[in-house]
């Protein structure tokens, strides 16, 4: 806990973490003018690692105030993407969407200047609005399905790249208001793989080091008049196609009362249209868009963060779903299901009146059990996709369904091939990100879709008569009640590197928290890809250790079906096992 927010201007004078879950105060808000000024005025030093282009699992992220997300970065990254797609033979339109972060608008302008300078056919939102990540992914797949089949297929299952569309999404997802983000989705519609992002980052840093001399760019006014610039109605395509993937008739006929909170993000214009066009009892509880996010409650560390899986960030919506017992007989809960999305709507948060905010792992287990029992058009042999740090409750649910478990490393990109090929009809991450196939088994999106999972919660309520919380309680009765958590442990860059290079032979322990070890993994069993760390399992518990990409820590994920005390023992022994190897 820190006291960084205590100040004479702070009337509460409380440390930031003690104010978690409370409304943001003026001193918590970013100075938007300074943020936008820094975007153009500050220029990165290519020799400083903190100011170079770095692509993580969700693109390049940073802040103009830290000289890690500035005009130079976006110009260089966009040119690098232009060069990459040319090298790959991608000749179709490039679709570009942005979220509501303050830096997203200027970044889109910079990108347009470079794209038009290169004559790249680019489509932006026809309504000049905000565009969720899943809407861009769905649009890429929809457009590419209309392109005549090419001469062959790529390994990911996409058609020949000639004539295929791809996309840029400008968002740092749930990150604080001072941040910006920029990511590339190839013609398969999902997040770019490491080979692509490494190439793009290297090229962008080369361009930065060269003073942007090789960046082709037009003035903004000229770029906006360029013949290569067009528009696309992302919202209409997404909302019109929803009956292909969600049983909206059931939701409407059951009169499920749905309350949605866009949390100031890109889904703000989508939810109202979804409700109106499909006749749903749907209320947008907060339509406000504010680049400071002054209406938010603070997250666990006292920061404003649009994390719809966080009880602190979701405190306002949770409060709406909590009966007021001040009068002794309780108040009426206004909605059957309440949901939240992060800024680019690729994550979901599910709130029920009987259970509060659902743990993301719990809802994933419910979604999987429900979908595989109710999507009769899905291939009988399609497996259940999960990341290796997601709950083992999913393993037990998959076994109960008679479905193969496909366990992959962290990152939604690993689900893309299966979703495209139809061999994987569901992919989910422990961080509240997931997507699944249409009723006929075809791909809906190959990126995470928070709106889709929120609508699924309403469908589950409509079809089963149960809230997702009640549904999960039945799974617990059948499969057990796991306890799950994640902690961070300090590590130097050298120690993190050793952790990333670990092999199963490095682990000499034969037992974990009193149970025999059943597996020691440094590769994901679902696809054989390196997990960049270690996972150790027993019959009733597991832990996974992975180095952080941004901090001098490593993350320990752990779970036990034997209770909280056993989980604590698993965590302690996990840290000892890892430290013995990396020390």
| CATH at residue 512 | 3.30.310.50
One domain, residues 513 and 429? no
End residue of a domain, out of 464, 479, 494: 479
CA distance 112 to 91: 17
Q: What is the dihedral of CA 380, 385, 390, 396, to 10 degrees?
A: 20
Q: Which of 12-16, 271-275, 497-501, 574-578 has the lowest mean pLDDT?
A: 12-16
Q: In this structure, is residue 405 part of a structural domain?
A: yes
Catalytic residue annotation = 173
Instruction: Find, among 450, 470, 461, the residue nearest to 339 by Cα.
Output: 450
CA distance 484 to 557: 8
Q: How many CB atoms lie within 10 A of CB 227?
A: 8
**Burial of residue 328 (number of CB atoms within 10 Å: 0-12, 13-18, 19+):** exposed
One domain, residues 425 and 497? no
* pLDDT at residue 241 is higher than 60: yes
One domain, residues 475 and 489? no
One domain, residues 308 and 222? no
Residues contacting 142, CB < 8 A, separation 6+: 237, 241
Q: In this structure, is residue 401 part of a structural domain?
A: yes
Angle value at C-alpha 172, between 70 and 58, nearest 5 degrees: 105
> What is the residue range of 558's domain?
483-582
Q: Which of 4-8, 11-15, 62-66, 518-522 has the lowest mean pLDDT?
A: 4-8
Angle value at C-alpha 431, between 67 and 130, nearest 5 degrees: 60
Give the sign of the dihedral formed by CA 278, CA 286, CA 261, CA 264: positive
* pLDDT at residue 65 is higher than 80: yes
Give the sign of the dihedral formed by CA 244, CA 246, CA 248, CA 253: positive
Instruction: Find, among 515, 493, 582, 514, the residue nearest to 545 by Cα.
Output: 582
CATH of the domain at 142: 3.40.120.10
**Confidence tier at 149 by pLDDT (50, 70, 90):** low
Q: What's the pLDDT at 551?
A: 73
Q: What's the pLDDT at 552?
A: 81
End residue of a domain, out of 448, 479, 510: 479
Q: Which of 2-11, 333-342, 453-462 has the lowest mean pLDDT?
A: 2-11
Q: In this structure, is residue 438 part of a structural domain?
A: yes
**Confidence tier at 273 by pLDDT (50, 70, 90):** very high
With beta carbons less than 8 A apart as the criterion, state whether 420 and 443 touch. yes
With beta carbons less than 8 A apart as the criterion, state whether 230 and 122 touch. yes
One domain, residues 490 and 435? no
Mean pLDDT of 312-329: 78
Residue 406 — φ and ψ, nearest 5°?
Answer: -115, 100
CA distance 365 to 367: 6
Write the DSSP string, 278-322. HT-EEEES-----TT-TTPBP-TTS-----TT-TTTTHHHHHHTS
**Confidence tier at 549 by pLDDT (50, 70, 90):** confident
Cα dist from 156 to 42, 162, 180, whole Å: 39, 15, 29
One domain, residues 251 and 186? no
Q: Please tell me the total count of domains within the chain.
A: 3
Query: Which pLDDT tens digit goes with each residue over 39-64?
Result: 999 999 999 999 999 998 779 999 99
CA distance 470 to 457: 12
Q: What is the dihedral of CA 559, 563, 569, 570, to 10 degrees?
A: -20
CA distance 583 to 578: 8
Q: In this structure, is residue 21 part of a structural domain?
A: no
Q: Which of 159-168, 197-206, 219-228, 375-384 has the lowest mean pLDDT?
A: 159-168
Q: In this structure, is residue 16 part of a structural domain?
A: no
With beta carbons less than 8 A apart as the criterion, state whether 114 and 142 touch. no
Exposure of 372 in the CB half-sphere (CA atoms within 13 A): 26
End residue of a domain, out of 179, 212, 232: 232
Query: Which pLDDT tens digit goes with each residue over 356-411?
Result: 999 999 999 999 999 999 999 999 999 999 999 999 999 999 999 999 999 999 99
pTM: 0.93
* pLDDT at residue 6 is higher than 80: no
Q: In this structure, is residue 281 part of a structural domain?
A: yes
């Amino acid at each position: 806990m820190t006291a960084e927010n205590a100040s004479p201007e702070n009337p509460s004078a409380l440390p930031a973490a003690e104010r978690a879950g409370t409304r943001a105060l003026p001193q918590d808000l970013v100075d938007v003018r300074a943020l936008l000024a820094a975007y153009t005025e500050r220029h990165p030093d290519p020799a400083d690692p903190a100011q170079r282009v770095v692509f993580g699992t969700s693109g390049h992220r940073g802040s103009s105030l830290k000289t890690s997300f500035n005009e130079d970065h976006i110009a260089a990254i966009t040119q690098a993407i232009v060069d990459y797609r040319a090298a790959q033979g991608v000749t179709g339109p490039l679709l570009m969407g942005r979220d509501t972060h303050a830096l997203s608008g200027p970044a889109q302008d910079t990108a347009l200047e470079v794209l038009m300078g290169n004559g790249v056919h680019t489509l932006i939102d026809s309504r000049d609005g905000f565009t969720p990540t899943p809407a861009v992914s769905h649009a890429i797949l929809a457009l590419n399905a209309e392109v005549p089949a090419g001469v062959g297929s790529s390994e990911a299952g996409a058609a020949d790249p000639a004539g295929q569309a791809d996309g840029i999404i400008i968002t740092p997802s749930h990150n604080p208001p001072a941040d910006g983000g920029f990511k590339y989705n190839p013609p398969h519609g999902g997040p770019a793989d490491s080979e692509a992002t490494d190439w793009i980052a290297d090229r962008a840093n080369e361009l930065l080091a060269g003073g942007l001399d090789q960046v082709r760019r037009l003035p903004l006014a000229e770029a906006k008049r360029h013949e290569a610039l067009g528009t696309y109605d992302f919202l209409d395509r997404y909302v019109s196609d929803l009956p292909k993937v969600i049983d909206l008739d059931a939701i409407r006929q059951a009169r499920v009362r749905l309350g949605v909170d866009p949390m100031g993000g890109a889904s703000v214009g989508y939810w109202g249209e979804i409700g109106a066009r499909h006749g749903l009892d749907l209320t947008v509880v907060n339509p406000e868009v504010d680049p400071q996010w002054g209406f938010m409650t603070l997250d666990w560390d006292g920061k404003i963060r649009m994390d719809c899986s966080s009880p602190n960030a979701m405190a306002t919506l949770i409060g709406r779903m909590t009966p007021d017992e001040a009068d002794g007989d309780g108040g009426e809960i206004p909605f059957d299901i309440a949901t939240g999305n992060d800024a680019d709507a690729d994550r979901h948060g599910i709130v029920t009146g009987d259970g509060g905010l659902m743990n993301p792992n719990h809802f994933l287990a419910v979604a999987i059990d429900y979908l595989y029992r109710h999507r009769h058009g899905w291939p009988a042999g399609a497996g259940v996709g999960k990341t290796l740090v997601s709950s083992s409750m999913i393993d037990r649910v998959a076994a109960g369904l008679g479905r193969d478990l496909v366990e992959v490393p962290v990152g939604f990109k690993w689900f893309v091939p299966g979703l495209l090929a139809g061999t994987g009809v569901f992919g989910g991450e422990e961080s509240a990100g997931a997507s699944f196939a249409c009723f006929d088994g075809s791909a809906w999106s190959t990126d995470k879709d928070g709106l889709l999972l929120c609508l699924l919660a309403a469908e589950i309520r409509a079809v089963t008569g149960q809230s997702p919380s009640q549904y999960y309680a039945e799974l617990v009765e059948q499969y057990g009640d796991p306890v799950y958590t994640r902690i961070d442990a300090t590590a130097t860059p050298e120690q993190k590197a050793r952790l990333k290079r670990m092999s199963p032979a490095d682990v000499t322990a034969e037992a974990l928290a009193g149970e025999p070890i059943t597996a020691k993994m440094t590769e994901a069993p679902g696809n054989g890809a390196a997990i960049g760390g270690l996972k150790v399992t027993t019959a009733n518990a597991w832990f996974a250790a992975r180095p952080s990409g941004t901090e001098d820590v490593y993350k320990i994920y752990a779970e036990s079906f034997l209770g909280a005390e056993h989980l604590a023992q698993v965590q302690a022994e996990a840290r000892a096992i890892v430290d013995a190897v990396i020390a």
